[in-house]
Amino acid sequence: MSKKRRTRIFSKIDELPAELREEVNWMLYSPAYTYLDIALWLQENNYDISRSAVGRYALRQNAVAQKLREAQEQTKALVNVIKQNPEADYTEATMQMLMSELTKKIASAQEEFDEMDLDKAGRLVVAISRTKVYKDRVKADLMKKVDLAFTKFKDQIPQVIKNDPDLSRRMEELLEEAKALVLTDE
């Protein structure tokens, strides 16, 4: 059984010189031109390209532009989250965005997914899992260091405040409250 090979879509417009292709792109974004107007203009410039070829090219360009707009919106949203929550966990937000996009890809391209090598799909899942494990390990290491620092500080309080046991006890209480806040998962 031969495996279907996916080929890159390439149109006659892609073969145009860069300056003409830019002009076609500009005309596509202008509401003043129809696909027929663009095809006729190309024919006047000695390029035999049909109205339907222009339409197919426009659909591809619009899909690419839409993906770029979506990526820009996601980036803006992430930047806003970072600005509003400097202490936020950005790796988690990034992983959620990646998982969301991977889910969309799987849902919208079942044929491509069916053709994806099992090895490649497995590597993607493993890469995402490794990222989660690494994030959890870094968090656990940080919690151990915070716990160690608070314990050392707590042990030094009585030596520093020998003459005032009430102050020493209150400092320890405040320290425990601070430690609880640092070690919370929120």
Q: Residue 3 is encoded by which pair of tokens?
A: 């495996």
The set of residues, in sequence order, having a beta carbon less than 8 Å from that of 36 and lying 6+ positions away, is: 51
User: pLDDT (tens digit, 9 = 90+) per residue, 156-183?
Assistant: 777 777 777 788 788 888 888 887 777 7
Q: What is the pLDDT of residue 113?
A: 60
Q: How confident is the model at residue 44 (pLDDT cuts 50, 70, 90)?
A: very high
Q: How confident is the model at residue 1 (pLDDT cuts 50, 70, 90)?
A: very low
User: pLDDT (tens digit, 9 = 90+) per residue, 47-78?
Assistant: 998 888 888 888 888 877 777 788 788 778 77
Cα–Cα distance for residue pair 146/176, rounded to 1 Å: 12
More confident residue, 79 or 106: 79
Dihedral, 154, 159, 162, 166 alpha carbons, nearest 10: 0
Q: Residue 121 is encoded by which pair of tokens?
A: 């799909």
Dihedral, 94, 100, 101, 102 alpha carbons, nearest 10: 110
**7, pLDDT greater than 70:** no
The set of residues, in sequence order, having a beta carbon less than 8 Å from that of 46 and lying 6+ positions away, is: none
pTM summary value: 0.38
CB 28 within 8 A of CB 69: no
Q: What is the pLDDT of residue 120?
A: 80
Domain boundaries, the chain: 8-76, 117-186
User: pLDDT (tens digit, 9 = 90+) per residue, 134-158?
Assistant: 888 888 888 888 888 888 877 777 7
**9, pLDDT greater than 80:** no
User: pLDDT (tens digit, 9 = 90+) per residue, 84-133?
Assistant: 777 766 676 677 777 777 777 666 656 666 677 778 878 878 888 888 88
Number of C-beta neighbours around residue 98 at 10 A: 14
CB 132 within 8 A of CB 95: yes
Q: What is the pLDDT of residue 43?
A: 93
To the nearest 10 degrees (0 to 180), the angle between helices 90-108 and 51-84 is 160
**Which residue, among 157, 160, 163, has the nearest Cα to 175 in the 3D structure?**
157
Cα–Cα distance for residue pair 25/57, rounded to 1 Å: 9
